[in-house]
Amino acid sequence: MNESFVFDTYALIEIIKGNKNYKIYTNEKIVINNFIFSELCYVLFREGYPNTEKWLGKFMKYIFSVKSDIIKDAMYFRVKNKKQNMSITDCISYFMAKNLGIRFLTGDKEFEKLENVEFVK
């Protein structure tokens, strides 16, 4: 494949856990942002994952900045879809993917039916 995706925190954790459904994405071009990276840090530290520093070092190099207009559009989208209980990070990352013209890789059910989403459990 060799495509680019904005990987959400769920996808990164599933890769770390060795979920076979995510194996095909390990060779794809990874794009994350500071919001995703902060969630990843939190989960890895909270859960006491082995090799946390190794994983953070691996994913750190894929961080890209998010433009303020993407954040604004994502927060408007979140307000309009508040019944879906979407996280701030996921909304921003979803709009980042749309802006970059690539898909948002996630296993979060709130995004399953949206366009521009690669949904994997």
Arithmetic mean of pLDDT, 6-13 = 98
* pTM (predicted TM-score): 0.95
Instruction: Give CA–CA dist 67/75, Å, rounded.
Output: 13
Give residue 2's pLDDT band: very low, low, confident or very high (50, 70, 90). Answer: confident
Give residue 1's pLDDT band: very low, low, confident or very high (50, 70, 90). Answer: low
2 SS3 class = coil
Torsion sign (Cα): 37, 97, 14, 108: positive
In CATH terms, the superfamily for domain 4-119 is 5'-nuclease (3.40.50.1010)
Arithmetic mean of pLDDT, 78-104 = 97
Tens-place pLDDT, residues 11-68: 999 999 999 999 999 999 999 999 999 999 999 999 999 999 999 999 999 999 999 9
Instruction: Give CA–CA dist 40/21, Å, rounded.
Output: 19
Amino acid in the structure at residue 61: K
Instruction: Give CA–CA dist 62/55, Å, rounded.
Output: 12
Residue pair 91/78 in contact by the 8 Å Cβ criterion: yes
Give residue 73's pLDDT band: very low, low, confident or very high (50, 70, 90). Answer: very high
Which of 1-5, 62-66, 82-86, 111-115 comes out lowest in average pLDDT? Answer: 1-5
* Alpha carbon separation from 42 to 8, 18, 49, 56, 115 (Å, rounded): 14, 19, 11, 11, 28
Residue boundaries of the structural domains of the chain: 4-119
78 SS3 class = helix
**β strands within the chain, DSSP E:** 4-7, 29-31, 103-106, 117-119
